[in-house]
Structure 1
């Protein structure tokens, strides 16, 4: 027995397929780029002169291979009408490889990693792990290639309970430098296989070079991460859950792009621009060229319109959905949620509020979301943290202050956020996609009158 409508299950299965391919931000952008090209979108290159942006046309641009902006120009677009934007991020907490990967652990050999973002690092222990990302090769010229080794090659073993102190048993607090070292081989295996590389893990470089069809010495540098090999899947007694890595925030990337593509059929009558911005580096603060704190959105607005006077009007008439994961009520830790703001799975997107503006939502922007959702028959929920709890943030406040565009923070509810494997509801994928579709097609009907 399955949970939800056939449409919601079909979309959930499509999302699971996507997340299994999108193992790093580079792979996510590659997959989404292929969708856009197949749908007829024109790829723009930041390093080349851009053509004039034409009404009725559709475009996309990438930066650093890890962030992407796709937009479609309404058939009746005028710059003063504004832009409808969905913002999300492609990155998730992970273990990134250090520049020198070799780690000698006596009888074992490990690979050197750095903690990227705020992961629940204890969940990475005793997992079957591999390596994926972007590699740069030196041949007749510099080349870049994506790689995913796929099979389990490293593991971070936990310490047996019999060897732990009473204090260690009470609270697992691994040292991130000493204890988060993935093991790739034994010392004797390295010696038997000719390991004489003092800089890198010989075994790792050999596996990567074999996957890419190159020599180990041709590898100049890389942006590689350790990832879990267990595929995303649909589960639960009624197939109502998705168990997967990187739900935060590939859910929003998937739903945003799907909604953009599905609404292209009504582009002829559209009087605004529809845009989806997928940024990298949200998990570490967004202050990079490919992050939300970079110039990608301001640069795009300048390409669309050169007049400063018209730019101000365009910004004033634009609206931004910052879409990122929301904390669902945890059944075993209910006291961690404010008692009147407890999002649940299968109840639709969550509007996120914070009086200190850790989220960009205010009464005006939330009202527009609620009005659109009501007409689209999409349920929405509300969330704010307890006063005695810290509050995370999103790209919403960053983009709002950088661009001046009215912004609301929303997102799908999930459990185990920042774990190596997270959990969400199958029906919420279709709820969020349907809501974003309604935002793209019906926003102008819900603008607050002066």
Structure 2
């Protein structure tokens, strides 16, 4: 039950398994599309292709299926569809293993904005992980018709970006058949460029064969599914703005992105905004600006409520106290112990005369600091053999000077000190490691 004791204890490594060494991934079961695809001018000039396209849309087929049908019926037309940026998201039954989910999403969050058609313009999401890299994976990738040819991947140092590819199939000793693989195809660095991903020197990137590709992974409140949903995007601006939102929310929520934003179960929302973005004209080399519908995250919540946050240490301490009480032990909180120690060092105020009925109030300086809390903290630190000055230097280094002026900050410092009541030598060693010798 003790958060800190669990965090400090060595974790028992899980036994290795045959399939347990792969990179963890969040399973998905269904796609929401960021836009639509329309016929190219060449394809639209053929009335038969237009009719096939309209019929497929009426059946709510996916754009991949529509493209395949056109290619099969008109083999001379290559790439008959092109993406079109619109204000809404596309939700089609064939994009989900359970086609009914598409109707559930539109019924719950679809809107008719005056054109007689219910579309998805804005919907709530809950992310399943605290790492934005896990809920918005992205890469530079080059695809052939059937598979991914090359893709970017960062090295363990976090700085070097490699260009990876699938390794060629190995043949058996007789050279008659490929070696049977286990655990998926192996990968290797691309030999042509030394395995380094440099888009400006990459022919595939310059010819628009290799592009930035990413996806948001999330759950939708009210839509029952064990697996998450995904929303693909190739927009650099959409992903960059999302990273800014993720980092801001994580900072305000103590590193958390997963789950609802507050106790009122407020979710994030995904929507689109029409914004002007700049790009380089490939013919002139000049910067030009165009309006595009950009995917954006919205957080309809009071920011100050996110900054306040729940006192997790206090909740865990109460849980510990409840367990000890049920076991028949005497319960004393960290604050009670610290305040009792402080009572021996803080001078007592003279007793007020009986006729004086003014309510006693804790002494609070102009900056809002409760000196009673500070004295209790210093007293507990002194019982470990740490002077007030040295503890203040350590606390300011770890939590910043603002811990004094915040009641939750002072409570967390008390809880941190309580961890070392039975082993003060460990606390002394930690201070030495953080700020050096006295």
Structure showing greater relative contact order (alpha-carbon pairs closer than 8 Å, 6 or more residues apart): 1
Shorter-chain TM-score above 0.5: no
Q: Report the TM-score, using the length of structure 2 for normalisation.
A: 0.22
More strand by share: 1
Q: Report the TM-score, using the length of structure 1 for normalisation.
A: 0.22
Name the larger-Rg structure: 2
